[in-house]
Amino acid sequence: MGEEKGGEEKIMFKKILIANRGEIALRVMRACRELNILSVAVFSEADRSAPHTRYADEAYFIGPSPSTESYLRIDKILDVAKKSKAEAIHPGYGFLAENENFAKAVEGAGIMFIGPTSKAMALLGDKTAARQTMSKAGIPIIPGMEKPLRNEEEAKKIAEKIGFPILIKAAGGGGGKGMRMVENKSGLQSALKGAIAEASSAFGNPAVYIEKYLLHPRHVEIQVLADNFGKVVHLNERECSIQRRYQKMIEESPCCIMTEDLRRKMGESAKKVAKTAGYTNAGTVEFLVDKNKNFYFLEVNTRLQVEHPVTELVTGIDIVKEQIHIASGEKLRLKQEEVWLRGAAIECRISAEDPDNNFFPSTGRIEEIVDPTGPGIRVESGIFEGYEIPLFYDPLIAKVLAWGRDRQEAIVRMQRALSEYKIKGIKTTIPFHKRILSHRDFLGGNFDTGFLQKILDTPLPKEQNEEIAAMAAAIIALKEEESPIIKESKETMSNWKKVSRWMMLRR
Partner 1 sequence: MAYLVSVQNKTYRIEIENHYSESREDIYSLLIDGQPKEVGVSVVNKPGHLSLLLANESYDIEVDKEEDGYYVSMRDETYHVRVEDERVKKVEREMGRHKSGVLAVKAPMPGLVVAVEVKAGDTVEKGKGVVILEAMKMQNEIRAPKEGVVKEIIVHQGAKVNGGDVLVVLE
Active site residues: 303
Q: Binding of partner 1 at residue 114 (CB under 8 A)?
A: no
User: Segment near partner 1 (CB under 8 A), from 71-79, 206-214, 318-326, 356-364?
Assistant: 356-364
Of residues 332-391, those binding a copy of itself (CB under 8 A): 340, 342-343, 368, 370-371, 373-381, 384-385
Question: Do 40 and 57 meet the contact criterion of CB atoms below 8 Å apart?
Answer: yes
C-alpha to C-alpha distance for 340 and 326, rounded to whole angstroms: 20
In this chain, which of 180, 303, 413, 427 binds a copy of itself, going by CB under 8 A?
413
Tell the smallest beta-carbon distance from residue 395 to partner 1 (Å): 5
Residue 35: Cβ within 10 Å count: 17
Of residues 300-339, those binding a copy of itself (CB under 8 A): 309, 312, 316-318
Backbone angles phi, psi at 90, to 5 degrees: -105, 125
Radius of gyration of the chain (CA): 23
C-alpha to C-alpha distance for 28 and 284, rounded to whole angstroms: 18
In this chain, which of 11, 197, 215, 256 binds partner 1, going by CB under 8 A?
197
Count of residues engaged in binding a copy of itself, rule: CB under 8 A: 36
Q: Binding of partner 1 at residue 292 (CB under 8 A)?
A: no
Of residues 68-87, those binding partner 1 (CB under 8 A): 83-84
How is 356-372 classified by DSSP, letter by letter?
GGTTEE--EE--EEE--
C-alpha to C-alpha distance for 450 and 436, rounded to whole angstroms: 13
Q: Binding of a copy of itself at residue 412 (CB under 8 A)?
A: yes
List Cα–Cα distances, 273 to 116, 147, 238, 277, 282, in angstroms. Answer: 13, 20, 17, 6, 13
Question: Do 300 and 277 meet the contact criterion of CB atoms below 8 Å apart?
Answer: yes
Q: Binding of a copy of itself at residue 26 (CB under 8 A)?
A: yes
C-alpha to C-alpha distance for 339 and 29, rounded to whole angstroms: 25
How is 404-422 classified by DSSP, letter by letter?
ESSHHHHHHHHHHHHHH-E
Question: Do 222 and 237 meet the contact criterion of CB atoms below 8 Å apart?
Answer: yes
* DSSP character at residue 228: T
Return the one option of partner 1, a copy of itself, none that residue 453 interacts with (CB less than 5 to 8 A, by type): none
Tell the smallest beta-carbon distance from residue 478 to partner 1 (Å): 6
Return the one option of partner 1, a copy of itself, none that residue 317 interacts with (CB less than 5 to 8 A, by type): a copy of itself
Return the one option of a copy of itself, partner 1, none that residue 412 interacts with (CB less than 5 to 8 A, by type): a copy of itself
Of residues 257-276, those binding a copy of itself (CB under 8 A): none
Find the DSSP H helices in 142-245: 152-162, 188-203
Of residues 399-438, those binding partner 1 (CB under 8 A): 418-419, 422, 424, 431, 434
* Between 340 and 360, CB nearer to a copy of itself: 340
C-alpha to C-alpha distance for 490 and 483, rounded to whole angstroms: 10
Return the one option of partner 1, a copy of itself, none that residue 33 interacts with (CB less than 5 to 8 A, by type): a copy of itself
Return the one option of partner 1, a copy of itself, none that residue 377 interacts with (CB less than 5 to 8 A, by type): a copy of itself
Strands 38-44 and 58-63: parallel
User: Segment near a copy of itself (CB under 8 A), from 12-20, 22-30, 141-149, 459-467?
Assistant: 22-30
Return the one option of a copy of itself, partner 1, none that residue 370 interacts with (CB less than 5 to 8 A, by type): a copy of itself
Residue 385: Cβ within 10 Å count: 13
* Between 141 and 377, CB nearer to a copy of itself: 377
Tell the smallest beta-carbon distance from residue 35 to a copy of itself (Å): 8
Return the one option of partner 1, a copy of itself, none that residue 378 interacts with (CB less than 5 to 8 A, by type): a copy of itself
Return the one option of a copy of itself, partner 1, none that residue 471 interacts with (CB less than 5 to 8 A, by type): partner 1
Of residues 36-65, those binding partner 1 (CB under 8 A): 41, 45, 48-49, 53-61
Backbone angles phi, psi at 325, to 5 degrees: -60, -45
Nearest C-alpha neighbor of 220 from the set 180, 189, 188, 253: 253
Of residues 200-219, those binding partner 1 (CB under 8 A): 201-202
How is 117-139 classified by DSSP, letter by letter?
-HHHHHHHHSHHHHHHHHHHTT-
390: CB partners within 8 A, 6+ apart: 46, 47, 65, 363, 505, 506
Q: Binding of partner 1 at residue 230 (CB under 8 A)?
A: no
Return the one option of a copy of itself, partner 1, none that residue 394 interacts with (CB less than 5 to 8 A, by type): partner 1
In this chain, which of 14, 136, 291, 405 binds a copy of itself, going by CB under 8 A?
405
User: Segment near a copy of itself (CB under 8 A), from 154-162, 227-235, 262-270, 408-416?
Assistant: 408-416
Q: Per the omega criterion (within 30 degrees of 0), is the bond before 143 cis?
A: no
Q: Binding of partner 1 at residue 127 (CB under 8 A)?
A: no
Backbone angles phi, psi at 283, to 5 degrees: -155, 165
Question: Do 55 and 26 meet the contact criterion of CB atoms below 8 Å apart?
Answer: yes
Q: Binding of a copy of itself at residue 409 (CB under 8 A)?
A: yes
Of residues 360-379, those binding partner 1 (CB under 8 A): 360-363, 368
Tell the smallest beta-carbon distance from residue 391 to partner 1 (Å): 6
Instruction: State the residues that interact with a copy of itself by CB under 8 A.
Output: 26-27, 30-31, 33-36, 309, 312, 316-318, 340, 342-343, 368, 370-371, 373-381, 384-385, 405, 409, 412-413, 416, 419
